[in-house]
Structure 1
Amino acid sequence: MSREVLLVTGASGLLGSHIVRRAGGKFELIAAYRSHPVMFPDARCVPLDLADRKSVENLFRTAKPGLVIHTAALADVDYCEDHPDEAWAVNAEGTAYVARACRETGARLVHISTDAVFDGSRGMYAEDDEPRPINIYARTKFEAERRVRETCPESLIVRTAFYGSGLSWRKGLAQWALDRLRSGEPFPMFTDVFFSPIYVGDLVEILFESYRKGLSGIYHVGGRERCSKYEFGMALARTFALDPGNLTPGVLADVPLRAPRPKDISLDVSKITRDLGRPMPTLAEGLRRFRDDQLRM
């Protein structure tokens, strides 16, 4: 019996690479990347230019996926602010091409969005709260959501904020903070910026569980707790038994950033908790799994 074909876009990124690694043996895997070629033992790795409609159409025509997990995006917030046309072409138009190809081939689409679609004025956002993106990156991601809902109304759209260790070309928040903690050099983390972080390994499990249950529509998937970036850094230090003495409290206004940032984009995860019938992981649980996975690498 042939296995279902899973196409993962953004396979060179943190989330995409973890999906590919954890799906080995369960699917016939196609790992699509843009500018950072990757190799996985259980996947066929192929280049994909999301901004090129023909590139997307040709890949779908040859791959014939039954499931698409679309993680690819330009996610550098300041880069997007400085390159709005490119951000729009990849994040909004590229997602529209993927959604259209899914509709035409009958593939199920899981689209990864972001907690940054909200303006951060109050936090603990539920799925039916109105998004108000405040920077170019967030606007393109919100437009991508709109294109997916319009083209593939049965798709699953996941707003999230995840952490972990990915491939070497770009480090996420957790790996960046770990490197700073180990270096002993002073560095700040914000006490006035809040989110609901989830370990990437936990997120991957939830994505596949949601797919198996046939969930559709918008879901917020994050950790059970709201925390500040500074609290996250302190918890990271405790979990890895590192001295947090060089981690200093800072505030968003102290750092000159080209793109505005929302202050509180924590997520209400009641809906996914109810529909999966299990609680989301706590920060401590996620960080322990992150630590244990790093030790096995």
Structure 2
Amino acid sequence: MKKLLVTGVSGFLGWNLCQLAKQQWQVYGTYFSKLVDIPDTNLTKVDLRDFQELKRLFEQIQPAAVIHTAAQSNPNFCQIHPEESYLINVTASLNIARLCTDYSIPCAFTSTDLVFNGLNPTYRETDPVSPINHYGEQKVIAEQGMLELNPKTVICRMPLMFGIAPPGASSFIQPFIKVLRERKELSLFTDEFRTPVSGQTAASGLLLALEKVEGIIHLGGKERVSRYEFGRLMADVLELPQEKLKSCLQKDVPMAAPRPSDVSLDSSKAFALGYQPLSLREELKKLRGKV
């Protein structure tokens, strides 16, 4: 099997990607601070910000393709620590693009729906970017820089993602589930809309995009929901206590990073290529007893 290099395998998306990719590829994964156990995956500790260290890794592995999922993806952290987050979100991404160009291999990069300002949904790949926080800005710089270095880079704009996570990582639902099971109050926004998918579905989209796409592709789900609507559905499907699940508005919760109100993605381009997210209810049913 051909060798696939996946960065950030101790994170939610990278970990889910490895589970699926190892069926088709010989997978090599990088981590930085958290070692996770992934059967049938070759793991290496690497500081992706260090170009020489990354260059040695490419020389050692000789990958046939790369999927770059490693990131500092917490918008509030990026807002407070812009220089530190820039190094992983931009510098490391450009380093990877340079090496993929040198090796003439495809590279898929995981960007975000937060490259948009939320004022003109539903967003297509051709719509102008307009980020309103540092995280979105960093992803835009990385997108543009990687495409300049290597026009064959696949920019995969990811939506909100949920599902099973490795130890030390989580998707956005794990904290919600914990709070509801403890019968504590959980307030979710009624005025923030996304197009979520499961980590498993997102991983299938990344592998499809790596094979079939050059340039930008959106890998959102088929349903536009608010966080509150999603929380209600999740509690219903996973049979969680709902009496403490409350609604709120974005302005009710002070946060470091500004949040766009609606960054729903139009992913019809990916759907036409065979990307087929299940309904949110079906996706959540698959998680029963596992989260």
TM-score (ref. length: structure 1): 0.93
Question: Residue 123 of structure 1 corresponds to which residue in structure 2?
Answer: 121
Identity over aligned residues, as a percent? 33
Cα deviation per residue 1:91-146 (whole Å; 9 max; x = unaligned)?
A: 11110000001110122101110000001113211111111111111111111101
- The letter of the residue matching 1:113 is S
In the TM superposition, residue 41 of structure 1 has moved relative to its aligned partner by 2.0
Question: Residue 101 of structure 1 corresponds to which residue in structure 2?
Answer: 99
Q: How far, CA to CA, are the matches of 1:52 and 1:227 in structure 2?
A: 39
Q: How far, CA to CA, are the matches of 2:277 and 2:38 in structure 1?
A: 29
TM-score (ref. length: structure 2): 0.95
Unaligned stretches of 5+ residues in structure 1: none
Q: How far, CA to CA, are the matches of 1:122 and 1:182 in structure 2?
A: 36
In the TM superposition, residue 54 of structure 1 has moved relative to its aligned partner by 1.1
Could you tell which deviates more after superposition, 200-209 or 186-195?
A: 200-209
Q: How far, CA to CA, are the matches of 1:14 and 1:242 in structure 2?
A: 22
Q: How far, CA to CA, are the matches of 1:171 and 1:4 in structure 2?
A: 29
Q: What is the aligned-residue RMSD (CA, Å)?
A: 1.5
Instruction: Please say if residues 121 and 263 of structure 1, whose CA atoms lie closer than 8 Å, have aligned partners that are also in contact.
Output: yes
Instruction: Please say if residues 165 and 174 of structure 1, whose CA atoms lie closer than 8 Å, have aligned partners that are also in contact.
Output: no
Question: Residue 42 of structure 2 corresponds to which residue in structure 1?
Answer: 44
Q: How far, CA to CA, are the matches of 2:135 and 2:40 in structure 1?
A: 32
Instruction: Please say if residues 6 and 65 of structure 1, whose CA atoms lie closer than 8 Å, have aligned partners that are also in contact.
Output: yes
Q: 1:53 aligns with which of 51, 54, 71?
A: 51
Question: Residue 108 of structure 2 corresponds to which residue in structure 1?
Answer: 110
Question: Residue 177 of structure 2 corresponds to which residue in structure 1?
Answer: 178
Cα deviation per residue 1:34-74 (whole Å; 9 max; x = unaligned)?
A: 11122322111101212111121111111111111100011
State the secondary structure of the residue aligned to 1:224: coil
Instruction: Please say if residues 52 and 94 of structure 1, whose CA atoms lie closer than 8 Å, have aligned partners that are also in contact.
Output: yes
Q: Figure out how many residues of one structure are paired with residues of the other and give that number.
A: 290
Question: Residue 75 of structure 1 corresponds to which residue in structure 2?
Answer: 73
Are the structure 2 counterparts of residues 244 and 205 from structure 1 closer, same or farther at C-alpha, using a change threshold of 3 Å?
Answer: same
In the TM superposition, residue 25 of structure 1 has moved relative to its aligned partner by 4.4
Q: Does 1:201 align with 2:200?
A: yes
Are the structure 2 counterparts of residues 279 and 62 from structure 1 closer, same or farther at C-alpha, using a change threshold of 3 Å?
Answer: closer
Unaligned stretches of 5+ residues in structure 2: none
Instruction: Please say if residues 10 and 169 of structure 2, whose CA atoms lie closer than 8 Å, have aligned partners that are also in contact.
Output: no
State the secondary structure of the residue aligned to 1:122: coil
In the TM superposition, residue 170 of structure 1 has moved relative to its aligned partner by 3.0
In the TM superposition, residue 209 of structure 1 has moved relative to its aligned partner by 2.7
Q: 2:26 aligns with which of 1, 25, 28?
A: 28
Q: How far, CA to CA, are the matches of 1:218 and 1:285 in structure 2?
A: 27
State the secondary structure of the residue aligned to 1:175: helix
Could you tell which deviates more after superposition, 162-171 or 90-99?
A: 162-171
